[in-house]
Amino acid sequence: MAKFFGIYCASGLTQHHDFIINKFKAEDAKVNSGTINEVHEQALYLASLDYETFGPHAFLQTDSHIATLVGHPLLSANRNNDLNTLNSHYTNAMLTECEGVFCMARYNKVTNVLNLVTDSLGVRPFYYMYYEGAFIFSTQYSLLKNLGLPLTCNHEGMMEYATLGYYLFENTHYNEISCIRPGTRLEASSSGVTKTQYFDWCSLTKNNDNYEKTLHSLKQDLSNNVNKYIDNDNHVLTTLSGGLDSRLIACLLKRQNVNITALNFSQHQTQDLYCATAFAKSQKIELDVIRVNDTQAKTIEDRLGEHWLNGKHPDHPKVTRPRLAWSGNGGSVGLGVIYYSDEVYEAALTQEPEHLADAYLSQQFAYIPKSIIHNADKMQARLKANIVTSLKEFGDIPLEKAYYLFLLLNDQHHHLAIPFDKVDEYQMDFCLPFYSWKVLRHVLSQPTSQVRKHRFYHDFLRYAFPEALDSPWQAYPGHVPCLLPKEGIDQWQIKRPKQFKPTKVYHIFTQLMTSQHKQLVNLASFSAVALLHASGIKSYNDKLKVIENMLKW
């Protein structure tokens, strides 16, 4: 895990900008325990902190250039070699070859030009803002928020996050802070700031490959990706649930002949635990089960960081790179094509973005509650309009494929934003094979009817990794079912513990009262909601979740 922060002013940094630099140093001093490199040029201050999860700090300084990156571009197995390559050949063609999850900063001391770039999916983005003629940037959203600069509420961005769980366009909670979009490079110079889309996702929809060839090529691309991530590791850490994504990761690792430490976070007597245990036994993988009360309360990344980072696990010394974990994130959307109900698919086939936007909002229950939010109808209309605009950005490709790209470049773009923002808390990073354009292009090459609801995913597993289907798994409702017998409670039928306990409701209420975001809330109505819910008279989880997301950042 790593992060970088910088401030650039083409005409030269001043005392006004020193305030920002000193504020960053003060904030960073509270948490920093990694390797840090910093440079202070006339026009640029750049600090790069790396917990060396992938290996040595990826930082380069020559007579003419300064460059650093977070994540791994996966041009090769060695990310420091990748950094050298990208610094020497900083072109759209070379950036397009990168299939990993990464973000890079590069400064040319001779021309006084700053370059920033994120991966094709924007899973490792950077955030930026302007202050006193300077351009400020960081891979950590919360760092910019905590600089103490004036910030005003971005109503559109906040409501996108509150209802969808992610932002559209470059939106964030604040008008002054922007999030770079996927597959984008930015250049800052004396001429100003320009942004260029270097990666063309739409072009990947033009391929119509033979089905058998596609399955074979996907196997090759996944294996190549995993091989680069592994590098010289002989013992790795991964999570293993009862689903297919982590199972496929385990199969890929087994074929690489590495030792595996697998962790499972499940509730007692559930099918998720039964399926994970059955698969681990069939593949002779030692599985460590950590019992939890609510699998939805925290992300796997959160749980992994909390459980593993203290170094007390007996396998911790055995893992070659103990701060690096394998993750099946991205598999369900990327290969399984979830969030694509029959209603959404039928709407997409009409080729009418407005119709599709309505179906998507209904599927996600993404509605702004009128009883507690001022001007909810107006903001709901704006939310729909932004989704329609996002869908239209994909041009003339069929709407059913545009919708799949919409999910990748919005939902998945922000999917790991919170774990990556907690870089200082967990100091871990992740190998993410499913977030590779070389993997996802194979889904785009097939008709949407063939890939929805795990159809393509299952065909691929039967073709390339049949051992993944030899023991029972947890299937998504309405998707290709698992017909093998299994025991325990279906995870989709588990009644969650009370999501918002009185203490949490009180915390949300008091936090709202001191937040500038309260201007959007009907405080009298929300007070009643909070009181009734905390008293157990009526459940208002949906409304409380909206307010919680509004206050997330």
Q: What is the pLDDT of residues 336-354, one digit of tens each?
A: 999 999 999 999 999 999 9
Q: What angle do CA 288, 291, 292 make, to 5 degrees?
A: 135
Mean pLDDT, residues 80-103 taken together: 97
Name the residue ranges covered by the structural domains of the chain.
2-199, 205-329+416-493, 338-411, 502-550
Lowest mean pLDDT among 13-27, 61-75, 193-207, 287-301: 287-301
pLDDT of residue 540: 94
Average pLDDT of the chain is 94
pLDDT of residue 1: 77
CA distance readout (Å), 118 to 74, 301, 431: 13, 21, 17
Query: Residue 304: pLDDT above 90?
Result: no
Q: What is the pLDDT of residues 499-521, one digit of tens each?
A: 799 999 999 999 999 999 999 99
pLDDT band per the 50, 70, 90 thresholds, residue 182: very high
Amino acid identity for residue 521 in this structure: V
pLDDT band per the 50, 70, 90 thresholds, residue 492: confident
pLDDT of residue 310: 78
Q: What angle do CA 239, 241, 243 make, to 5 degrees?
A: 125
pLDDT of residue 301: 76
pLDDT of residue 33: 65
- d(CA 343, CA 354) in angstroms, rounded, equals 14
What are the residues facing 61 on neighbouring strands? 66
pLDDT of residue 32: 61
Q: What is the pLDDT of residues 372-404, one digit of tens each?
A: 999 999 999 999 999 999 999 999 999 999 999
- The CATH code for residues 205-329+416-493 is 3.40.50.620
Give 328's DSSP letter: -
Same fold, 2-199 and 205-329+416-493: no
Full DSSP string of 81-94: HHHHHHHH--SHHH
Report yes or no on whether pTM surpasses 0.85: yes
Query: Residue 482: pLDDT above 80?
Result: yes
pLDDT of residue 307: 82
Q: What is the pLDDT of residues 440-449, one digit of tens each?
A: 999 999 999 9
Comparing 426 with 444, the larger pLDDT belongs to 444
Mean pLDDT, residues 114-134 taken together: 97
Amino acid identity for residue 402 in this structure: A
Query: Residue 299: pLDDT above 80?
Result: no
Query: Residue 268: pLDDT above 90?
Result: no
Give 57's DSSP letter: -
* Cα–Cα nearest to 5, from 33, 34, 39, 31: 39
Q: What is the pLDDT of residues 3-12, one digit of tens each?
A: 999 999 999 9
Q: What is the pLDDT of residues 140-170, one digit of tens each?
A: 999 999 999 999 999 999 999 999 999 999 9
- d(CA 405, CA 394) in angstroms, rounded, equals 8
Characterize the bridge pairing of strands 35-40 and 178-179: unpaired
Full DSSP string of 429-483: EEE-TTS-HHHHHHHHTS-HHHHGGGHHHHHHHHHH-GGGGSS--PPPTTSSPP-
The domain made up of 2-199 has a fold known as Glutamine Phosphoribosylpyrophosphate, subunit 1, domain 1 (3.60.20)
pLDDT band per the 50, 70, 90 thresholds, residue 293: confident
Q: What is the pLDDT of residues 233-256, one digit of tens each?
A: 999 999 999 999 999 999 999 999
Q: What is the pLDDT of residues 36-62, one digit of tens each?
A: 899 999 999 999 999 899 999 999 999
Q: What is the pLDDT of residues 183-192, one digit of tens each?
A: 999 999 999 9
Give 520's DSSP letter: G
